[in-house]
């Protein structure tokens, strides 16, 4: 069965990594991003001195597979970093899934831990903190009175507590099998336990240049053990029938909202949280090789007319640039910014403004 993880070995990237930034954001690796303020790092053989493979600022390690990998603190303190991705499709209720990924301890660390794992959730989880990622829920105590309750997440797959991850030369596999509740689409990798429950070990072999336990991550896999190919076969049959009957779900002049396209605040930099939606658009264009589209960018009502016009154009162009980078002929693509001139909801509420900030594609020809 296929791996449900996009870019499992971090081989696809927008640009070669150039620096390690303690307050940075992971934005250049396709499909992967950090869900908290803890700054995950990317390494590649094409990277700078800070971010190279095998030698880099935070250690020395060859990739387990390919040319690149990521790195996160997992840590002997309460500081944490995490990696998150959206799977290619949600997990099916009652099905068993095998999860596997590889870790290697940086020899520059000041200790090692055991409890690195993988958490699967139906919705994105995240926070603005740089500590342990917590499961926060709001309880209504009385009308108009609520309380936020935080508890530790329980990853479905976690390395055994008694197996401290100490290897700095090779790669250690973390793997496990679990039964899905159904609908889990997001996977987060890291240490979800406080330091007191992580089996922290200090090692004389380490150089103690880093303030915690830092691990390289590579070669991630999520595979369904019992799923059949029935849905794939049926999809192929449906496609053949549609082609034979000259059917298409798209019509010239139709406009479709891309609901999960994310940008940096007030910028046109695409965030990796957009990857699945961009892949869906890419798949549409690949399956309709004659289709030409216009990407339209829209903003909310805040800011001047000129500012929003430029921002919307730049965001639409960023989507077009992504499609071109994936092999789509530029002649099939146009982009246009509409600024704040075409709202679809009120600008008086946060929810309305969020709906107005959108990217659409319009079918120009088939």
Identify whether 29 is preceded by a cis peptide bond (ω within 30 of 0). no
Domain residue spans of the chain:
32-224, 230-365
Q: How many degrees, rounded to 5, is the angle at CA 266 between CA 357 and CA 275?
A: 65
Helix (H), strand (E) at residue 272:
none
Three-state DSSP class for 253? Answer: coil
Give pLDDT tens digits along the chain (366 positions).
799 999 999 999 989 999 998 888 898 999 999 999 999 999 999 999 999 999 999 999 999 999 999 999 998 888 999 999 999 999 999 999 999 999 999 999 999 999 999 999 999 999 999 999 999 876 666 676 767 778 999 999 999 999 999 999 999 999 999 999 999 999 999 999 999 999 999 998 898 899 899 999 999 999 999 887 544 333 333 433 344 345 567 888 888 988 889 887 777 888 888 888 898 899 899 989 999 999 999 998 888 999 999 999 999 999 999 899 889 999 999 999 999 998 999 988 888 888 898 999 999 988
Tokens matching residue 25 = 């954001």
What pLDDT is recorded for position 271? 86
What pLDDT is recorded for position 231? 44
32-224 fold: Jelly Rolls (2.60.120)
- Decide: 221 and 133 in contact? Cβ < 8 Å: no
What pLDDT is recorded for position 273? 86
92-101: pLDDT as tens digits:
999 999 999 9
230-365 fold: 60s Ribosomal Protein L30; Chain: A; (3.30.1330)
Radius of gyration of the chain measured on its C-alpha atoms? 22
Same fold, 32-224 and 230-365: no
13-39: pLDDT as tens digits:
989 999 998 888 898 999 999 999 999
- Decide: 76 and 110 in contact? Cβ < 8 Å: yes
pTM of the model: 0.81
Tokens matching residue 52 = 């190279």
């Amino acid at each position: 069965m296929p791996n449900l993880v996009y870019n499992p070995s971090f081989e696809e990237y927008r640009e070669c990594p150039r620096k390690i930034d303690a307050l940075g954001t992971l934005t250049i690796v396709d499909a992967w991003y950090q869900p908290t303020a803890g700054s995950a790092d990317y390494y590649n053989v094409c990277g700078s001195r800070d971010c190279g493979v095998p030698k880099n600022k935070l250690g020395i390690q060859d990739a387990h597979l390919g040319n690149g990998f990521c790195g996160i603190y997992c840590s002997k303190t309460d500081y944490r970093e995490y990696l998150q991705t959206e799977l290619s499709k949600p997990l099916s209720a009652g099905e068993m899934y095998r999860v596997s990924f590889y870790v290697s301890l940086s020899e520059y660390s000041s200790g090692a831990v055991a409890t690195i794992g993988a958490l699967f959730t139906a919705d994105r989880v995240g926070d603005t903190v740089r500590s342990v990622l917590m499961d926060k829920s709001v309880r209504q105590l009385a009308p108009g009175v609520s309380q936020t309750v935080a508890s530790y997440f329980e990853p479905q797959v976690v390395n055994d507590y008694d197996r401290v991850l100490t290897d700095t030369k090779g790669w250690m596999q973390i793997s496990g099998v679990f039964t899905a509740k159904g609908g889990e689409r997001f996977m987060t990798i890291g240490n979800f336990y406080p330091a007191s429950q992580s089996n922290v070990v200090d090692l004389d072999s380490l150089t103690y240049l880093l303030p915690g336990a830092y691990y390289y991550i590579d070669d991630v896999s999520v595979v369904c053990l019992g799923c059949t190919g029935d849905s794939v076969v049926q999809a192929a049959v449906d496609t053949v029938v549609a082609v034979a009957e000259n059917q298409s779900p798209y019509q010239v002049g139709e406009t479709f909202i891309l609901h999960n396209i994310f940008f940096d605040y007030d910028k046109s930099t695409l965030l990796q949280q957009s990857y699945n939606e961009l892949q869906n658009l890419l798949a549409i264009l690949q399956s309709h090789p004659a289709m030409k589209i216009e990407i339209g960018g829209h903003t909310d009502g805040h800011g001047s007319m000129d500012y929003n016009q430029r921002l919307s154009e730049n965001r639409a162009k960023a989507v077009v640039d992504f499609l071109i980078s994936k092999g789509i002929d530029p002649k099939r693509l146009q982009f246009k910014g509409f600024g704040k001139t075409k709202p679809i909801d009120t600008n008086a509420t946060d929810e309305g403004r969020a709906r107005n900030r959108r990217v659409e594609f319009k079918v120009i020809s088939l």
